[in-house]
């Protein structure tokens, strides 16, 4: 087989042609509002590069998820666009993929990239729910002069969908009052103390779900390559157990993996993120139960 080096997994053409692929990777190397360590604009390219070392075989599913077909879209260019214009550019890119019937996996970039993807999905699914795996609540209405900050993502999401925030361990006073039922925030310490948290989530959650994963949801010992690492994150297998149940019981209509900050001296985080993206594709197309 002849592989294509600049696409996700380095897949051969017969598994990565746009027309026949069910999933499309949408790189979104956007970074304008990061407030601590910078470099998330390099995250999408690092994930794609690391993915080329991921085996096609998924030992949990006992198959090759790439058989669903995974195309890699061209990253939109942002130049010196203002945040509103950049968000509009990303939304245009996503809308085309959705019109073509593709399952979109966005790769960030800062968490702001979630806003245009959710807007696109909400146009198609009026009953949309967003499941947020994240260390930070991201519920400020504005931050540093813009409503399109990485710290305001979920405030914008709530304008279009209901929200379940999971693993939160950093936020602002009064944010629970902003999130009106049935939307809800689950702080990490509560989840660890409540063995029934998953059942509670699935009793609330609607059928059409958009999934956004900020990589700082995970334990920084496993995922150090993020801009603002927070202690107390979740492990690989705990995260996968929830994600598998989510895909098995709900229609996940799109997803993103964001906030990778590649490390100069280690590819651990890049590979973690690439493997996670591939797990999501496997769960989307090869788990029964819906």
Rounded to 5 degrees, φ, ψ at 262 are: -60, 140
pTM: 0.95
Query: What is the reported pLDDT for 5?
Result: 62
Q: How many domains does the chain have?
A: 1
How far apart, in whole angstroms, are the C-alpha atoms of residue 83 and residue 70? 29
Residue 139, domain member (yes or no): yes
Query: What is the reported pLDDT for 2?
Result: 47
Residue 239, domain member (yes or no): yes
Cα dihedral sign, 106-111-114-116: negative
Query: What is the reported pLDDT for 289?
Result: 58
Residue 2, domain member (yes or no): no
Task: State both tokens at 103.
Answer: 């399952």
Residue 3, domain member (yes or no): no
Angle formed at CA 120 by CA 117 and CA 123, multiple of 5 degrees: 150
Q: What is the CATH number of the domain that holds 119?
A: 3.40.800.10
Query: What is the reported pLDDT for 290?
Result: 47
Residue 6, domain member (yes or no): no
Task: Look at residues 238, 103, 252, 248 and name the one whose alpha carbon lies nearest to residue 166.
Answer: 238
Question: What residues in the chain have per-residue pLDDT under 50?
Answer: 1-2, 290
- Quote helix, strand, coil % in the chain, to nearest 5: 40, 20, 40
Task: Look at residues 220, 256, 254, 252 and name the one whose alpha carbon lies nearest to residue 236.
Answer: 220
Owning domain of residue 78: 11-286
Query: What is the reported pLDDT for 4?
Result: 56
Residue 5, domain member (yes or no): no
């Amino acid at each position: 087989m002849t592989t294509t080096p600049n696409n996700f997994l380095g897949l051969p053409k017969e598994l990565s042609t746009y027309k026949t692929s069910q999933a499309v990777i949408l790189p979104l190397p956007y970074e304008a509002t990061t407030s601590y360590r910078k470099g998330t604009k390099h995250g999408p390219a690092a994930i794609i590069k690391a993915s080329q070392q991921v085996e096609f075989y998924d030992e949990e599913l006992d198959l090759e998820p790439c058989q669903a077909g995974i195309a890699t879209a061209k990253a939109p260019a942002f130049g010196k666009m203002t945040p509103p214009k950049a968000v509009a550019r990303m939304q245009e890119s996503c809308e085309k993929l959705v019109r073509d019937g593709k399952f979109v996996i966005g790769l960030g970039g800062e968490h702001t990239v979630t806003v245009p993807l959710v807007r696109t999905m909400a146009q198609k699914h009026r009953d949309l729910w967003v499941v947020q795996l994240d260390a930070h609540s991201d519920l400020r209405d504005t931050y540093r002069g813009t409503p399109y900050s990485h710290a305001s993502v979920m405030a914008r999401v709530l304008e279009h969908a209901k929200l379940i925030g999971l693993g939160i361990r950093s936020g602002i006073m009064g944010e629970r009052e902003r999130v009106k039922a049935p939307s809800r925030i689950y702080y990490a310490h509560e989840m660890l103390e409540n063995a029934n948290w998953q059942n509670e989530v699935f009793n609330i959650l609607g059928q059409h779900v958009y999934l956004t994963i900020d990589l700082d949801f995970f334990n920084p010992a496993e995922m150090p390559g993020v801009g603002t690492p927070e202690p107390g994150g979740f492990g690989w297998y705990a995260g996968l157990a929830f994600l598998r149940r989510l895909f098995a019981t709900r229609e996940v209509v799109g997803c993103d993996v964001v906030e990778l900050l590649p490390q100069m001296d280690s590819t651990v985080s890049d590979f973690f993120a690439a493997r996670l993206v591939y797990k999501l594709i496997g769960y989307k197309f090869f788990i029964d139960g819906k």
